[in-house]
Amino acid sequence: MRTGFLALIFFYIFTSGCTREVSDVIAEWEEKGWSKVRTHGTQKTHHRHSTLKSDKAKAVEVSWIENGKRKTKLYRQDSHYYLAVRFFCGDKDEFAVVMRKRK
C-alpha cells in the first residue's frame, strides 16, 4: 500500500510542473515533435501546470476556466494526436495550450 502511495506521489510530481515559464514548457514539447495549435483562456501568472494526452482515445477534451466559468473544447484525434497543457493560476482561473503531433 505504501509503495503505491509513493508511486502516486512520484507520478504527480513529474506530471504537475512547478512554476516554469509557459514558453519553456511549450519548447520542451516542441523538442519532442509537438506543435502548438491554440491557447484557450487568458494567459497570466500561474503556479503549476499539468498535461493531458492519450494515444488511444478518439478525442481529447480540453478545459479551462475564465472568470470562474469552466469551458471545454473537444479535439478529435483522427489524423493527429492532441496534447493539452493546463496552467493553474492563483485566482482559480486556468488556461490551456493545445498541441498536436501527426499520427
52-63 pLDDT, tens digit each = 999 999 999 999
Residue 45, phi then psi, degrees to nearest 5: -60, 130
Rounded to whole angstroms, the Cα distance separating 56 from 41 reads: 26
29-87 pLDDT, tens digit each = 999 999 999 999 999 999 999 999 999 999 999 999 999 999 999 999 999 999 999 99
Domain ranges of the chain: 2-102
Q: pTM for the whole thing?
A: 0.78
